Amino acid sequence: MHFIQKLESPECLTQLAEQHATEEQAWDALKNPEKAQVHKQILQAEQKNLCAYCERKIEKVEDSHLEHIYPQSKWTDKRFEYHNLIVSCNGGQCSDIDQHVYDGIQHHSCGHRKENDFLAEKFLNPVEQTEITAHFIYDIDTGEIQASEKAPEKSRYTIGLLNLCSPRLNNERKNAYAASLKAIKHSPTKQHKIQLHAWLNANRMPAFVSYLRYCYSKFL
């Protein structure tokens, strides 16, 4: 997870928040094309096509959903609050091809995993925590995400709530690193380092960018 800089709230959300300020807000009041525009702005302009939680690459908008960080069922006043909206991948199941590898293991992660089970005081919020990356470390060899020494209870709670250490995600992170090594070699030259830094900080960031930055931190 990394910090997400929010842009200015779209006018349609501001208007809906004002219209429903004194009543039980209905999320269905946000309809297309406005809803699709909000979704696209958050995904592309703010999150660079990465899931806000696991940092998977989201190639198709339909493979993701608008996510209320504070669940709307409990925080009705935040339903149309722009800073409470991010985009999460759908956290899906394994493909039939590798299902046998993860048989019996919970695969769902991110927003669908979180649902309404949420303790705000323990959760690391990616739109509020500017230093959120510092809360996590990784096992480079296995791709496993772990809590750092910075508020470890919150880190462990967030990892568990979103299932960020699922075997499938660990494997996807590990594969992303292996693929990058083939491109830049194990011991980057000065030119490789320049290219690597540009790649990890480009406007269109690679999947699992926080893990990759951690893996290459000794080179950068």
Q: What is the mean pLDDT of residues 71-95?
A: 84
Q: Which two tokens stand for residue 59?
A: 């190639």
pLDDT higher at 75 or 192: 75
Average pLDDT, the chain: 85
pLDDT at 96 over 70: no
| 173, containing H or E segment | helix 167-184
Distances in Å between the alpha carbon of 165 and those of 54, 71, 121, 146?
A: 9, 22, 21, 8
Residue-level pLDDT at 26: 79
pLDDT above 90 covers what percent of the chain?
Answer: 55
CA angle, corner 83, sides to 81 and 86, nearest 5? 105
So what's the pLDDT on residue 45? 94
Question: CB neighbours (10 Å) of residue 39?
Answer: 19
Give mean pLDDT, residues 68-97: 82
- The single-letter DSSP state of residue 50 is B
How far apart (Å, rounded) are the C-alpha atoms in residues 58 and 137? Answer: 23
| pLDDT mean over 19-24 | 65
Q: Cα separation of 158 and 79, whole Å?
A: 21
pTM: 0.86
Tens of pLDDT along 155-199?
A: 999 999 999 999 989 999 999 999 888 776 655 666 666 677 776
Tokens, residue 31: 């309809």
Asked if 87 and 68 touch (Cβ cutoff 8 Å), the reply is no
Are 57 and 207 in contact by the 8 Å Cβ rule? The answer is: yes
Q: How far apart are CA 12 and CA 103, in angstroms?
A: 44
pLDDT, residue 109, reads: 78
Give the tokens for residue 139: 């096992």
3-state secondary structure of 112: helix
Span 139-150, pLDDT tens digits: 999 999 999 999
Q: What is the pLDDT of residue 122?
A: 95
pLDDT given at position 193: 67
